[in-house]
């Protein structure tokens, strides 16, 4: 995933994109559902109605997945965990978090948010269907029985209800990295107080389910259900790969278990006061240190954001003596700093740290206490710092 993603739009600054594999699933859903709706409604082969309903179902399905991922994203943002993008792909969607949750409570709330959104979708669609057709007719449509006494629109509602219910059950299996596996990790983390041990446990469960999916998929292929078997086995392969990657990352992060940002950060950060002129900032900081950016602090040493060299260079020379640094800073969206008490292993995979090469370490009052660099984290992982 990643490289060839097509951006569709943005939601509250979150990039919504689709992977090329999404187009494969879109085609398959439309192709399979066209025949399904033709059988359910008794439409002739020349009718375009089944095709229109299949297209509506496909986009309704992916809208459900997007809402599911937005549920994760909005809860993560509320807890200060940035979301860089949501990407739809062959197996659904994934919200890319800029860092891991810093507590089991946050991990649990983020993980459970998506399934709760899906449950709300199921309840809403089910209420519409039951109110319109009654229990028997809507239930027949949900079970994909041909000749169910429903209209085309209600057939779409029934299909979306059943597919979301199926996805909810499947997604809640305790197989990391699915939501059920992340919920399991949060619970084990809460009970043991050890993030790495919880991840190892959840990853082992994930691998167990992956092997089960692969085995059942092979049995389905042997029994004649070739497409279903290949699909389930492929899902098992993907889950196994993700679980193995999580286990490998945990093995690495265990080297810095118990270490905090404060243990390895630079405790004498160079910061620019927000009231300093741009002229002095260029002369006394950028020309002297040759760094591409500097943290900016207020009079109380509270971290406010970053001053990028390009922004300072854009100020006309005649205005640099009067322009203030505070007018040019890139405000901190919450992803540019971490608490000095943050566990060091929580920074592994942090996108802002990879992008900038460093993060600001602040105390409980937001005052700048240090700078934690990717290089410092790397030295700690190699055992060069204690």
Percent of the chain scoring above 70 in pLDDT? 94
The lowest-confidence range among 23-32, 105-114, 146-155, 303-312 is 146-155
CA dihedral 25, 26, 28, 34 (to 10 degrees): 150
Residue 272 has pLDDT above 90, yes or no: yes
Confidence of residue 165 (pLDDT cuts 50, 70, 90): very high
Residue with the larger pLDDT of the pair 100 and 261:
261
Residue 205 has pLDDT above 50, yes or no: yes
Percent of the chain scoring above 90 in pLDDT? 44
Continuous segment of H or E residues that includes residue 84: strand 83-89
Residue with the larger pLDDT of the pair 385 and 86:
86
Residue 242 has pLDDT above 50, yes or no: yes
Two tokens at 92?
Answer: 């659904």
Confidence of residue 179 (pLDDT cuts 50, 70, 90): very high
**Average of per-residue pLDDT across 83-88:** 86
Residue 190's pLDDT is 94
pLDDT, one tens digit per residue, over 7-17 is: 888 888 888 98
Two tokens at 318?
Answer: 């005649």
Q: Which range has highest mean pLDDT (41-55, 81-95, 99-113)?
A: 99-113
Q: Report how far residue 81's alpha carbon sits from residue 79's, in angstroms, rounded to the nearest whole number.
A: 6
**Average of per-residue pLDDT across 66-78:** 93
Two tokens at 299?
Answer: 């009079």
**Average of per-residue pLDDT across 32-55:** 84
Label residues 91-114 b or e (16+ Cβ within 10 Å = b): bbbbbbbbbbbbebebbbbbbbbb
Residue with the larger pLDDT of the pair 81 and 272:
272
| CATH class of domain segment(s) 261-382 | alpha beta
Say how many residues make up the chain: 386
Residue 112's pLDDT is 96
Average per-residue pLDDT for the chain: 86
372 C-beta neighbours (distance < 10 Å), count: 28
Residue 55's pLDDT is 92
Confidence of residue 32 (pLDDT cuts 50, 70, 90): confident
**Sheet holding 6-11: strands in order across?**
6-11, 14-18, 83-89, 92-97
**Average of per-residue pLDDT across 126-148:** 70
6 C-beta neighbours (distance < 10 Å), count: 13
**Average of per-residue pLDDT across 261-284:** 93
Residue 3 has pLDDT above 60, yes or no: no
**Average of per-residue pLDDT across 170-176:** 88
Residue 166 has pLDDT above 60, yes or no: yes
CA dihedral 189, 190, 193, 199 (to 10 degrees): 0
Q: Where are the beta strands (DSSP E) in 241-346?
A: 272-273, 293-297, 303-308, 330-331, 337-339
């Amino acid at each position: 995933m990643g490289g060839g993603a097509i951006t569709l739009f943005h939601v509250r600054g979150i990039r919504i994109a689709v992977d090329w594999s999404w187009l494969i699933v879109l085609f398959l859903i439309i192709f399979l559902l066209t025949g399904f709706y033709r059988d359910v409604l008794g439409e002739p082969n020349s009718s375009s109605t089944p095709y229109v309903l299949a297209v509506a179902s496909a986009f309704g399905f992916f809208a459900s997945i997007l809402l599911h991922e937005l549920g994760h994203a909005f809860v993560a943002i509320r807890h200060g965990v940035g979301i860089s993008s949501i990407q739809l792909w062959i197996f659904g969607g994934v919200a890319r978090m800029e860092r891991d949750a810093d507590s089991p409570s946050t991990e649990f709330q983020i993980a459970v948010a998506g399934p709760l959104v899906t449950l709300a979708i199921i309840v809403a669609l089910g209420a519409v269907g039951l109110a319109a057709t009654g229990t028997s007719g809507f239930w027949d449509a949900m079970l994909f029985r041909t000749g169910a006494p429903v209209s085309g629109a209600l057939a779409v509602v029934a299909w979306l209800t059943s597919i979301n219910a199926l996805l909810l059950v499947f997604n809640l299996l305790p197989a990391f990295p699915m939501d059920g596996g992340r919920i399991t990790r949060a619970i084990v983390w809460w009970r043991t107080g050890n993030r790495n041990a919880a991840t190892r446990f959840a990853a082992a469960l994930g691998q167990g389910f992956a092997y089960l999916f692969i085995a059942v998929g092979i049995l389905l292929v042997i029994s004649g259900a070739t497409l279903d078997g290949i699909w389930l086995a492929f899902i098992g392969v993907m889950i196994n790969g993700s679980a193995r990657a999580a286990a490998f990352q945990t093995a690495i992060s265990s080297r810095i278990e118990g270490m905090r940002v404060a243990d390895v950060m630079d405790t004498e950060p160079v910061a620019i006061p927000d009231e300093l002129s741009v002229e002095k900032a260029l002369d006394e900081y950028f020309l002297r240190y040759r760094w591409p950016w500097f943290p900016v602090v207020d009079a109380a040493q509270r971290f406010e954001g970053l001053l990028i060299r390009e922004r300072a260079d854009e100020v006309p020379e005649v205005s640099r003596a009067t322009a203030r640094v505070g007018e040019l800073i890139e405000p901190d969206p919450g992803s540019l700093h971490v608490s000095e008490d943050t566990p060091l292993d929580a920074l592994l995979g942090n996108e802002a740290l990879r992008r900038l090469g460093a993060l600001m370490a602040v105390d409980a009052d937001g005052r700048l206490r240090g700078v934690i660099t990717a290089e410092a984290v790397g030295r700690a992982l190699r055992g060069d710092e204690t």
